[in-house]
Amino acid sequence: MEGIENFYGYFNLVLGTIMTLIGFKVYRPFKKEKEEETYRKFGNLYKFGGIALIIWGLIKIF
């Protein structure tokens, strides 16, 4: 069961990194016409949710 716990930790770490990069507009996966609307609606979710997932992933790994 230890292997699956490590998998969830690394998965959260990768997902949190991607969400944080999207939230701070380093990585822009959205089309230009929908980009501003998406950032206005979900910008804080991407920023704070990504940071929270990174922290939770690190807790699960260690």
CA distance 43 to 27: 13
> In the predicted model, what is the mean pLDDT of residues 28-47?
92
The torsion defined by the Cα of 36, 39, 40 and 46, in degrees rounded to 10, comes to 180
Tokens 């790994």 sit at which residue? 61
- Residue 12 near residue 54 (C-beta atoms within 8 A): yes
Q: How far apart are CA 41 and CA 31, in angstroms?
A: 15
**In angstroms, rounded to a whole number, what is the distance separating the alpha carbons of residues 40 and 36?**
6
Q: Which pTM was predicted?
A: 0.87
Residue 23: its pLDDT value, please? 93
* Residue 4 confidence (pLDDT): 84
